[in-house]
Structure 1
Amino acid sequence: MSKKNIVVVGAGFAGVAAAKKLSRHFKKNPDVLITLIDKHSYQTYMTELHEVAAGRVQPDAIQYDLQRLFSRNRNVDIITDEVTHVDREKKVVTTSSHSFNYDYLILAMGGEPNTFNVPGVDENGFTMWSWEDANKIRRHIQDTVEAASNEHNDEKRKAMLTAVVSGAGFTGVELVGDLMEWKDQLARANKLDPAEFSLYLIEAAPQILGVVTEKEQQKAEKYMRKQGIQIIKGNGVANVKKDSVELSDGTVIPTHTLIWTAGVKANTDAAAYGIEQARAGRLVANKYMEAKDSEGVYLAGDLVYYEEPDKNNAPVPQIVQSAEQTGHTAAANIIASIEGTEKHEHKGTYQGFMISIGSRYGVAYLMDKIHLSGFIAMLVKHMVNLFYFMTIGSGYYFVQYIYHEFFHIKEKRNIFRGHLSRLGNVLWALPLRVFYGSMWTWEAVKKIYGLYGTTSWFGDEIVLPFAWLKEATTGASEAVTDTAAAVSHPVFGLSYAYGEEPMMIFKEAPEWFNSIMQVMIPNPEMALFFQKFMTIVELLIGLAIIAGLFTFLANAATIALVISFSLSGMFYWVNMWFIPVAIALMNGSGRAFGLDYYVIPWIQKKLDNWWYGKTKSIYRPGIGQ
């Protein structure tokens, strides 16, 4: 097969989905090169823009570096550049710095806000369709609230503390919900009364959230109104000025913040490519996601206009599910074209819609029959987001999502109200860490030297209480019987009490555990080796915990040891505190006056560079450059 160059323009949901599918399919074919071009070096997680704009997560939380996403996809060349021209006759994509020949082209540049030429939106309002937009809104609100805290004119102050969101679709509702939560934090930081803030949600249509059922609409509206959001329906924005917004019926709302989320259209750059356009500038595609009258050119994402026959000829929706599915269809048909197999018709499958209203409440409508709200709806939304990282094969961002949504969250802004946040000071774990490590170290020392009348695990006597080992040792079985007879009336307890005999967790090992151990330790010779080995492990674990070195792994190992000792019939209920202490110390305790403060970041950096390579602000032609 002759070499094939596939160029994908746009690294949004559609472009990434298409590039991933192509890369996996052709991973063993050196004759196929996929070139992914985007003006940014990262993918923006568009569905979380509202979280950045309203201060819930840090701006970099929704930037997914393309090098990290494609570092293991060796046949994908990442290019950071802006496409300036597409020559469909010569099959050349021209960027600001380079040109790329292609055999197949996927255009997936996405969309951009559609202001419908409403006067003043471009000059005086804010749109939210990019990482830059979200940051601009975030900074504007912070600066405006800070200025309002020093404003003596009551009317102007009220206008500065009023925000209007135009458009009550997914984006508008999610944004106003996060602004609703943020106002309390902003008020506290600037010594303001939260009651001074006003939030408006404006919708020209007679209902909000048109893609879900009336049940979700009513629940969402009820919740927002209860939280103080003023909702105006059937009355759109007609004019935007620097310090006010005028509605269609003439109502004027004094405000310095109008955020427009009321419409989306195709990326305007696409107009220059000579492909037939439909409503809102979207490019017309056939059932295979091929651009009309454009050989080798495929379309994906918000750019596509394709009427789905099984959806009453409605155009494919401009949502994430559709973006990924059109990307997969385009990629599948390029694969079919290269390999001479049958092409695949696009069939959109939309499993449901999930809308967050702030960080703690949401509504969802799944599979055309399941209605969810509150905690469960939000949990499902998080699970779907995590599933996305699995589909694109990014374990790194799977973990990062969990960190920034649950463990590194501030102001209790998640469904668990901050209970999972680990931004606390681990210094207070230092005494416990040293004590716990010392305990394991001392236990190992006792086993080595046989102190205080104990039997040395480094001697020639078998200490492990397994029957087959005792039977192989002369007189040992009688000794076990005599010892057992001496024990009387053990009492259950989780701490020692004077005069009581502590109760063991298991008097003898369960049969299934015995079977495993008999394979691992079949004879006295192996038992003696195992005793010495386990003692050394205990010593190393204790020293590691004291020093704060690999504390997560060391404490996880102590849990495994406790379970093993318990099943062996060698552990008492009074010592079960070992496990909760180990779990507590796994929360980064080695970073306070411990070696993990130095070692873990160094290892993370080395592993990061080895696995992903060095991330850059600009990726140039040439895989690995």
Structure 2
Amino acid sequence: MAKTNIVVLGAGFAGVAATKKLAKHFKKNEDVLITLIDRHSYQTYMTELHEVAAGRVEPDAIQFDLQRLFNRNKNVDIVTDEVTHLDKENKVVTTVKSTFKYDYIILAMGGEPNTFNIPGVAEHGFTLWSWEDANTLRRHIKDTVETAAIEHDIEKRKAMLSFVVSGAGFTGVEMIGDLMEWKDRLAKDNKLDPEEFSFYLVEAAPIILGVVTEKESSKAERYLNKNGVKIIKGNGVANVTEDTVELSDGTKIPTHTLIWTAGVKANSDVEEYGIEKARAGRLVANKYMEAQGAENVYLAGDIVYYEEPDNDNTPVPQIVQSAEQTGHTAAKNIIASIEGTEKVAHKGKYDGFMISIGSRYGVAYLMEKIHLSGFIAMAVKHLINLFYFLTIGSVFYFVKYIHHEFFHIRDGRSIFRKHLSRYGNVLWNLPLRVFYGSMWLWEGLKKMFGLAGTTSWFGNDVTMPFSWLQDPASGASEAAEEVVHSVFGLNYVYGEEPMMVLDKMPGWFEKIMEFMVPNVEMALFMQKMMTLLEIAIGLALIFGLFTWLVSALTVGLVAMFSLTGMFYWVNMWFVPVAISLMNGSGRAFGLDYYVIPWISKKLSKWWYGDIKSIYEVGVNK
């Protein structure tokens, strides 16, 4: 049987969503092959471009390698190439290097900035619509500020340190928010006064953030004003030169940096595809996300023009939620067409909007009724971003996101400020790590050799105080126990008897232990294993090997010892010390410095294969 070839053009939110859905549905069908073609080998996390452009996170934070996203989807071929022609009659896609026949195709190439032909914007403005855009803008800002620091002409210097963002939608507000936050670092690195910087947010409409309610708009405006941003409303950009932005009313702002976020249109690559177009070059789709008048051609993402009946016949919005949903609709209807089932009409569902204004403040409007701002709004935005990685099945980028947004941050540019930063000096944990490891090692050696007057756990005596292991003939169970008054405390005090965490095992845990250690033979074996484990923990901590894992294990051991009635409150310091050592302490004069990167590299190669800048047909998964 001939294979059914599905081609997806574009690896943005829409293309990835559609490909994931198709791959999952046809994972057991060897007769269906999905080919994902994009000019890049990665998906760009478009909603966080402003974080790279304004120096908040490193550029790789928003690059999601396609091999890592689809490595376990054996029915997906990843191709890094640029489409040059679409032959709808013969169902052939032509790229720079190859051709691909298709039975079904999804066009999901996204959008691009719309300058509305305003003079000078294309020549002198900076857009924010790709990873390259973000990097170019980041370098420009740093270079411009460095040049301004040695500029003696006051007016030139002022223009260099003035930044204008045109467009007060999501992207514009988020961009200006991160820029104003970057100011202090830029000033410090270049020996400048932060007060010399000026920031302008220009909006042609009478309000900012028009997609949310007046409540969120007002809060955002107040926060921006409070942080020195000059907001100009009802007065758009009319002309741009190399060092000036002129507004509609004739106002001129001297600046070397105009960031254009005021419009979006469909990707210009689709202009030659011969598909009916609507405003801003968007392609007209029916309710099944089929391109108007094109057989087996489906549309998804920012290029789609479809008027939603349930939303006052307004076109689907050019936002992430809509991109994913149109991608899912297109995939569902390709599945229905292949399997002969009923197609489903697109129905947009938009759960809300979240806007970050810098790294520590945001506003959100959810479910058309919930208003959030500040820390909570930002926390919700991070949770939604993390949820996205779970929906596309990428634990790798789930963890990476946490690292970039909370741990690998500088200048406290996170909702947790500097409290979670990994850039602290772990050297100061070295004495604690060695001491803690020595304690575990000594405890293990005592048990092995019966040192310091203790009973060896390698002998024939059961030292575990479990009633079912005691010898009734010894009369031990009938011996009168001396009543000792124990005192709660977290450290030893002379003359006091320390208190156990639990004086006896809970009934449920006793049943578990009786199952695991039913007789003397097993008890003796467990004693030996526990002794060797303590020695291994001690050595691992001293030499800094697998420190995170070993520290987590010690927390588990403390919990177990406590439940068995064999642990004192005064030794509860074991837990906070173990947690403290989980901060990467093994990297300071420890083997983790060498071993963990080596293991990470080997595991990555085994799981993901070779990560490349260009993927071709038949890449080894």
Query: Deviation of residue 571 (structure 1)?
Result: 1.0
Query: Deviation of residue 473 (structure 1)?
Result: 6.3
Query: Deviation of residue 432 (structure 1)?
Result: 0.9
Query: Deviation of residue 475 (structure 1)?
Result: 2.7
Query: Deviation of residue 476 (structure 1)?
Result: 3.0
Give the corresponding residue for 1:515.
Answer: 511
> Structure 2 CA distance, aligned partners of 1:178 and 1:623?
39
Q: 1:583 aligns with which of 569, 576, 579?
A: 579
Which amino acid in the other structure matches residue 379 of structure 2? L
* SS in structure 2 at match of 1:344: coil
Give the corresponding residue for 2:458.
Answer: 458
Query: Per-residue displacement from partner, 1:220-264 (whole Å, max 9, x unpaired)?
Result: 001110111000000000000111100000111111100000000
* SS in structure 2 at match of 1:165: strand
> Structure 1 CA distance, aligned partners of 2:297 and 2:352?
30
Give the corresponding residue for 1:543.
Answer: 539
Which amino acid in the other structure matches residue 83 of structure 1? V
Give the corresponding residue for 2:373.
Answer: 373
Query: Deviation of residue 270 (structure 1)?
Result: 0.3
Give the corresponding residue for 2:316.
Answer: 316
> Structure 1 CA distance, aligned partners of 2:600 and 2:453?
45
> Moved runs in structure 1, 4+ residues, more than 3 A?
none
> Structure 2 CA distance, aligned partners of 1:26 and 1:507?
57
Give the corresponding residue for 2:522.
Answer: 526
Contact 1:76–1:623 under 8 Å retained in 2: no
Aligned residue pairs total 621
Runs of 5+ in structure 2 lacking a partner?
none
* SS in structure 1 at match of 2:5: strand
Query: Deviation of residue 2 (structure 1)?
Result: 3.4
Query: Deviation of residue 474 (structure 1)?
Result: 2.7
* SS in structure 2 at match of 1:345: coil
* SS in structure 2 at match of 1:201: strand
Which amino acid in the other structure matches residue 570 of structure 1? M
Give the corresponding residue for 1:280.
Answer: 280
> Structure 2 CA distance, aligned partners of 1:138 and 1:557?
43
Which amino acid in the other structure matches residue 362 of structure 1? G
Residue 595 in 1 paired to residue 564 in 2? no
Query: Per-residue displacement from partner, 1:294-323 (whole Å, max 9, x unpaired)?
Result: 001000000000000000000000000000
* SS in structure 2 at match of 1:442: helix
Q: 2:616 aligns with which of 593, 605, 620?
A: 620
> Structure 2 CA distance, aligned partners of 1:158 and 1:264?
31
> Structure 2 CA distance, aligned partners of 1:602 and 1:12?
32
Give the corresponding residue for 1:364.
Answer: 364
> Structure 2 CA distance, aligned partners of 1:53 and 1:589?
32
Query: Per-residue displacement from partner, 1:312-338 (whole Å, max 9, x unpaired)?
Result: 000000000000000000000000000
Give the corresponding residue for 2:563.
Answer: 567
* SS in structure 2 at match of 1:365: strand
* SS in structure 1 at match of 2:470: helix
> Structure 2 CA distance, aligned partners of 1:509 and 1:266?
67
> Structure 1 CA distance, aligned partners of 2:275 and 2:249?
39
Give the corresponding residue for 2:603.
Answer: 607
Q: Which moved more, 1:588-597 or 1:57-66?
A: 588-597
* SS in structure 2 at match of 1:413: coil
Give the corresponding residue for 1:389.
Answer: 389
Query: Deviation of residue 472 (structure 1)?
Result: 5.0
TM-score for the superposition, normalised by structure 2: 0.99
Contact 1:148–1:161 under 8 Å retained in 2: yes
> Structure 1 CA distance, aligned partners of 2:472 and 2:579?
39
> Structure 2 CA distance, aligned partners of 1:254 and 1:593?
53
Give the corresponding residue for 1:425.
Answer: 425
* SS in structure 2 at match of 1:287: coil
Query: Deviation of residue 471 (structure 1)?
Result: 5.0
Give the corresponding residue for 1:140.
Answer: 140
Give the corresponding residue for 2:98.
Answer: 98
Contact 1:128–1:134 under 8 Å retained in 2: yes
Query: Per-residue displacement from partner, 1:20-55 (whole Å, max 9, x unpaired)?
Result: 000000001111000000000000000000000000
Query: Per-residue displacement from partner, 1:257-286 (whole Å, max 9, x unpaired)?
Result: 000000000001101000000000000000
* SS in structure 2 at match of 1:50: helix
Structure-to-structure mapping, 1:289-368, within 5 angstroms = 289-368=289-368
Query: Per-residue displacement from partner, 1:552-587 (whole Å, max 9, x unpaired)?
Result: 111111111111111111111111111101111111
Q: Against the structure 1 CA distance between its residues 503 and 267, is the aligned structure 2 distance closer, same or farther, given a 3 Å change threshold?
A: same
> Structure 2 CA distance, aligned partners of 1:539 and 1:284?
69
Query: Deviation of residue 83 (structure 1)?
Result: 0.2
Query: Deviation of residue 536 (structure 1)?
Result: 1.1
Contact 1:74–1:623 under 8 Å retained in 2: no
Structure-to-structure mapping, 1:201-216, within 5 angstroms = 201-216=201-216
> Structure 2 CA distance, aligned partners of 1:477 and 1:413?
62
Give the corresponding residue for 2:159.
Answer: 159
Structure-to-structure mapping, 1:1-400, within 5 angstroms = 2-400=2-400
Q: Which moved more, 1:419-428 or 1:162-171?
A: 419-428
Contact 1:472–1:524 under 8 Å retained in 2: no
* SS in structure 1 at match of 2:530: helix
Aligned identity (percent) is 75
Contact 1:427–1:592 under 8 Å retained in 2: yes
Query: Deviation of residue 467 (structure 1)?
Result: 1.5
Query: Deviation of residue 478 (structure 1)?
Result: 4.1
Query: Deviation of residue 451 (structure 1)?
Result: 1.6
Which amino acid in the other structure matches residue 504 of structure 2? E
TM-score for the superposition, normalised by structure 1: 0.98
> Structure 1 CA distance, aligned partners of 2:607 and 2:25?
21
Which amino acid in the other structure matches residue 539 of structure 1? I
Which amino acid in the other structure matches residue 65 of structure 2? D
Runs of 5+ in structure 1 lacking a partner?
none
Which amino acid in the other structure matches residue 490 of structure 2? L
Which amino acid in the other structure matches residue 582 of structure 2? M
Contact 1:448–1:456 under 8 Å retained in 2: yes
Which amino acid in the other structure matches residue 505 of structure 1? V
Query: Deviation of residue 191 (structure 1)?
Result: 0.6
> Structure 2 CA distance, aligned partners of 1:527 and 1:53?
61
> Structure 2 CA distance, aligned partners of 1:343 and 1:38?
27
Give the corresponding residue for 2:550.
Answer: 554
> Structure 2 CA distance, aligned partners of 1:210 and 1:192?
35
Query: Deviation of residue 488 (structure 1)?
Result: 2.4
Which amino acid in the other structure matches residue 71 of structure 1? N
